[in-house]
Amino acid sequence: MRRFLLFAVLFSLALGSAAVSADKVLPAPSEKEKCAVCGMFVSKYPAWACRILFRDGSTAWFDGPKDLFTYYLDIKKYAPSRTRTDVKFLLVKDYYSTAFIDAEKAFYVVGSDVTGPMGSELIPFAKAADAKAFMKEHKGQKVLRAREVNPDALKALR
């Protein structure tokens, strides 16, 4: 019982350190934001939230990198009024730090034992070393770069 009081205080002292800087710049998804591909609520899975930032300032949210790429690779189907040139940034969350990173520079592990809200996922990492280490620990099959993520690779995850 006494220990639990202590946590309250330790918590208040610890608050500042845990926040990731990227999350301060980019707002978290609001509660009613839905994945543009599967329609699931994004805010329920904060560690998986991904987004496409368009040049006009609007955002499309996704509940995992798999859905982000599904959308991006077939943007005509999901957003007929837009093209790939309208996209400013593709952002996914690094698995270890849960901070937003550039999806086009990220490393993705497929075939691991970690599943997202939509099942098998591309697990994103900012660093190649992190991706390799994750692959070993979580029985991943291989590491993909963003340009290797094509419709066939996505199909294999379904």
Partner 1 sequence: MLDFALSSLLRRKGKNLSLVAVYTLIVFSVASLLFFVQAMKRESALILEGAPGLVVQRMVAGRHDPIPLEYAGTIAGIRGVAEARPRLWGYYYEPVVGANYTILAEYDGTGAQGVVLGNGVARTRRLAVGDLVTFRTYRNESLVLPVREILPQESELAAADLVVLSEADFRTLFDFPSGRATDLAVSVPNPREIPVVAGKIAALYPDTRPITKREMLRTYDAVFDWRGGMMVVMLAGALLAFVVFAWDKATGMSAGERLEIGILKSVGWETSDVLLLKFWEGAAVSLAAFLAGVLLAYAHVFLLSAPLFEQALKGWSVLYPRFRPVPAVDGYQLAIIFFLTVAPYTVATIVPCWRAATIDPDAAMRS
- Site residues for partner 1 per CB under 8 A: 1-2, 4-15, 17-18, 20, 47, 95-99, 114, 130, 133-134, 137
Half-sphere exposure of 17 (CA within 13 A, CB side): 5
Give the angle subtended at the CA of 145 by the CAs of 37 and 93, to the nearest 5°: 55
> Dmax over Cα atoms in the chain, in whole Å?
59
**Is residue 60 packed enough to be buried (19+ CB in 10 Å), middle (13-18) or exposed (0-12)?**
buried
Q: Closest CB to partner 1 among 7 and 76?
A: 7
- The Cα-based distances of 87 to 21, 91, 108, 115 in angstroms read 23, 11, 20, 27
Closest distance between partner 1 and the C-beta of residue 10, in Å? 6
Q: Closest CB to partner 1 among 4 and 85?
A: 4
- The Cα-based distances of 140 to 23, 73, 110, 136 in angstroms read 28, 24, 6, 6
Q: Closest CB to partner 1 among 13 and 57?
A: 13
Closest distance between partner 1 and the C-beta of residue 55, in Å? 30
Closest distance between partner 1 and the C-beta of residue 21, in Å? 11
Closest distance between partner 1 and the C-beta of residue 139, in Å? 12
How far, in Å, CA of 115 to CA of 130, rounded?
A: 17
Closest distance between partner 1 and the C-beta of residue 78, in Å? 28
Q: Closest CB to partner 1 among 114 and 144?
A: 114
Q: Closest CB to partner 1 among 54 and 96?
A: 96
